[in-house]
Amino acid sequence: MILPKTLAMCLFISTLGVAKADDGAKFPLKPVKIIVPVAAGGSADKLTRVLAEKLSEKWGQSVIVENVTGASGTLGSAKVAKAPADGYTLLETGEALTLNALLFKKLPYDSAAAFTPVIKAVVNPQILVVNPKLGIDTFQQYVAVSREKPGTISLGLPTNGGIAQIAHEMLNQRTGGKVNYIPYPGGGPAAVDVIAGHTNATLITLAAVTEYVKSGRLKALAVTTTYRSTALPQVPTMAESGQPGFSVESWQGYLAPAGTPPAIVNQLNRDFAEVLRSPGVRRQLENLGYGVKASTPQELADTLAGDMTRYGKIVHDAGISIQ
C-alpha cells in the first residue's frame, strides 16, 4: 500500500515536539516507561537498556523497559499512541514505524498524527550473518546460492516487513536471488535460531550480533552500509563485494505520544543527547557497532519523512504487504 503523496510528506511530522519553549516544569516526577516493540535481546532492547540505566541515574527515577511484541511492532506502537501525552511513556522505534505505515492496510493508530519525534539516537548497518556450519564463507557465495538454488536458504527476519526484508529485497532485485523468509518477533530470537541451526541466516542490525560474530558463533558475510563498522572492521560492505552503490543504514530513536508538551519533549531530547554523548556510553555503544547521532526532534521528523519516500518505492516494486 502506498500512501498519498501529501500524507507521505507530512507523516510523523509534529511541530508539537520541535518548539523551543521551556516552561521550567520539573520532569520527571515519577518512573518513565520505554516501550520496545520487539523481543528482548535484539539491538533495540540492548540500546534502550543502556540508556534507561543512565537516564535513571540522571533523573533519580526508575526508567522501565517493557518489551511489547507482536504484529511487526504495531502492538507496542499502539500502546504508546494511546498513552497519556505527558512524557512518561515513550516508544523505541526505527524504520519499522514508517514501514508498518506502508505495509499494513489498517493500523490500530493514526500514523500521521499519533507520535511526536524526540530523538534519533543511533545509526547502524544491517549485517548478513550465517551459521558457520552452513558452508557459505563469502557474500559472493551467498548470492550465488540464492540465485542458483532459489528458496533453499532460510533467512530469519527480525520482524516481518522490517528493514531487513526491505534490504534483502533490494539485494534480490539486483541479483535475481530468492530466499525463504522466516519472520520472528525480534532480532534476539532470530539470531539464536541461526546459531542453533534452525535457520541458515539472518540480516539483522549489527549491534544485535556483534558479540556472536566476535565469538565465532555466527559468520558475518557483509554489511549493508557504504562504510565498514568499526566494531567489526574485517566485515566487507556489500558495495565492495560485488554490489556497487548498495546502501541501507538503519536507525533507532525515541518518540512520545502526540500532544506531549514541547517543554517536556525538549527536555527529553536534551537528556537523551547528554547520555548518548557521554564518553562511557558512546564508547559502549560504538563497541557494539552503533554510530551515535543524538539528533534534534526536527531532524528525526525529517528522517521519518525521507524514509517514507525512499522505502515506499521499494515496498511497491517488491510487492511486499502485510494483511
Nine-digit cell at 127?
Answer: 549485517
Give the pLDDT confidence score for residue 260 in this predicted structure.
98
Give the pLDDT confidence score for residue 313 in this predicted structure.
85
CA 85 vs CA 16, 30, 128, 264, 265: distances in Å: 11, 14, 38, 10, 10
Task: Note the pLDDT tens digit of each residue in 163-193.
Answer: 999 999 999 999 999 999 999 999 999 999 9
Q: What is the DSSP letter of 97?
A: H
pLDDT at 87 over 50: yes
pLDDT at 9 over 70: no
- The burial class, CB within 10 Å (0-12 / 13-18 / 19+), for 195 is middle
CA 256 to chain centre: 16
In the block, residue with C-alpha cell 502492538? 75
CATH number of 125-241: 3.40.190.10
Distance (Å, rounded) from C-alpha 258 to C-alpha 264? 12
Distance (Å, rounded) from C-alpha 65 to C-alpha 204? 21
5-123+252-318 belongs to CATH 3.40.190.150: yes
Give the pLDDT confidence score for residue 295 in this predicted structure.
98
Helix (H/G/I), strand (E/B), else coil: 275: helix
pTM of the predicted model, to two decimals? 0.87
Q: What is the DSSP letter of 243?
A: -
20 and 297 in contact (C-beta within 8 Å)? no
Task: Note the pLDDT tens digit of each residue in 120-160.
Answer: 999 999 999 999 999 999 999 999 999 999 999 999 999 98
pLDDT at 4 over 50: no
Distance (Å, rounded) from C-alpha 31 to C-alpha 305? 31
Task: Note the pLDDT tens digit of each residue in 245-285.
Answer: 999 999 999 999 999 999 999 999 999 999 999 999 999 99
Q: How many CA atoms are closer than 13 Å to the CA of 118, on its beta-carbon side?
A: 34
Domain ranges, ordered by start, for the chain: 5-123+252-318, 125-241
Give the pLDDT confidence score for residue 292 in this predicted structure.
97
Q: How many CA atoms are closer than 13 Å to the CA of 103, on its beta-carbon side?
A: 26
> Letter for the amino acid at 65?
V
pLDDT at 24 over 50: no
Spatial CB neighbours of 82, under 8 Å, sequence gap ≥ 6: 109, 257
pLDDT at 19 over 80: no
Residue 7 banded pLDDT, cuts 50, 70, 90? very low
**Helix, strand, coil share (%) of the chain residues, nearest 5:** 45, 20, 35
Stated as kind and residue range, the H or E segment containing 8 is helix 5-10
pLDDT at 35 over 80: yes
Give the pLDDT confidence score for residue 25 in this predicted structure.
58
CA nearest to 221, candidates 211, 208, 231, 232: 232
- Count of residues in the chain: 323
Q: Do domains 5-123+252-318 and 125-241 have the same CATH topology?
A: yes
Q: How much is the average pLDDT of 47-70?
A: 97
**Mean pLDDT of all residues belonging to the chain:** 91
Spatial CB neighbours of 272, under 8 Å, sequence gap ≥ 6: 51, 55, 118, 119, 121, 254, 294
